[in-house]
Amino acid sequence: MSYATIELAIEHPLATITLQRPERLNAISRELMAEVTDALAQANADDGVRCVILRGAGRCFSAGFEIADDDVWVEGEGPAAVVDDMRFYMEWERSIFEFAKPIVAAVHSYCLAGACEVMMLCDLAVAADDARFGEPEIRFSNGPPALIMPWIIGMRAAKELLLTGKMIDAQRALQLGMVNEVCPRADLDRRARYHALLISKVSPLAVRLQKRALNGIFEQQGLRHALDWGVTMTGLIDASETEEMKTFSRIRREQGLRAALDWRDEQFREVEDLA
């Protein structure tokens, strides 16, 4: 079937899902989420598909969840509604982690906010040397729907990124274990395909059970409970009317998202110049 926001290409033994909203920096809208879910269902039902590659078209992998449209903001409806909204996004992200077949993320340029979470919930990640990672939403009083980062890179580094909203480059992401490999931008698709094809040579049953075993280690350590707890806290952050959130929202409504993001970035410029 044809999609409006993604492209699905199946060439056994691989399926490639390409995020196709380049004019919006592949922002993850609800329509895109539904189409990715459908494409993964097709890949799962096809016995000839042994591994999935997730990539982005255009300038970057993805700038994160769509925040430009008014209908994505749950404002004035109370904390419970905000928590429920965050849970919707978290459960979609968790479906990436729980997908039966391995997913390899191929990341170039920006991989931010919800997209950074999605990348970390994939099984492997290959990054181009121009990749930039981070979850900057704390800078306008938002939080991550899926609090997966401390499970991937450890608590100390996760606090550094999630309490400041800073971005890191591909080499730092490699050092932290956020990605498996860094390569030149021109080699990204080839290297992602290499890892996916290696996986595809292994018995599908063995891969499926091995993935379930590895994921189960996190789940036995409390991953599901931690993600649920993170949603509650994130919902409270998002539902709290801080001065930063009110100013960001006002500028976004009156002048557009770009102006709001510029205002946000300006608050940190003086300190970041010290880096």
Number of domains observed in the structure of the chain: 1
pLDDT at 81: 82
Q: What is the C-alpha separation between 187 and 223, in angstroms, rounded?
A: 34
Helix (H, G, I), strand (E, B) or coil at 13: coil
Instruction: State the CATH number of the domain containing residue 65.
Output: 3.90.226.10
Helix (H, G, I), strand (E, B) or coil at 15: strand
CB 156 within 8 Å of CB 101: no
Asked if the structure places residue 262 within a domain, the reply is no
- Percent of the chain whose pLDDT exceeds 70: 97
Q: Is the pLDDT of residue 240 over 70?
A: yes
Asked if the structure places residue 74 within a domain, the reply is yes
* 69 — pLDDT class (breaks 50, 70, 90): low
pLDDT at 73: 57
CB 64 within 8 Å of CB 116: yes
CB 125 within 8 Å of CB 107: yes
- Residue 220 phi/psi, 5-degree rounding, is -70, -25
Give first-to-last CA distance, the chain, whole Å. Answer: 48
Q: Is the pLDDT of residue 74 over 70?
A: no
Q: H or E segment at 79?
A: helix 79-98
Asked if the structure places residue 146 within a domain, the reply is yes
pLDDT, tens only, 163-182: 999 999 999 999 999 999 99
pLDDT at 254: 84
Asked if the structure places residue 144 within a domain, the reply is yes
Asked if the structure places residue 103 within a domain, the reply is yes
Range of the domain at 75: 6-240
Asked if the structure places residue 247 within a domain, the reply is no
- What's the pTM value of the predicted model, to 2 decimals? 0.91
Asked if the structure places residue 149 within a domain, the reply is yes
Give bridge partners of residue 65 from the DSSP assignment: 28
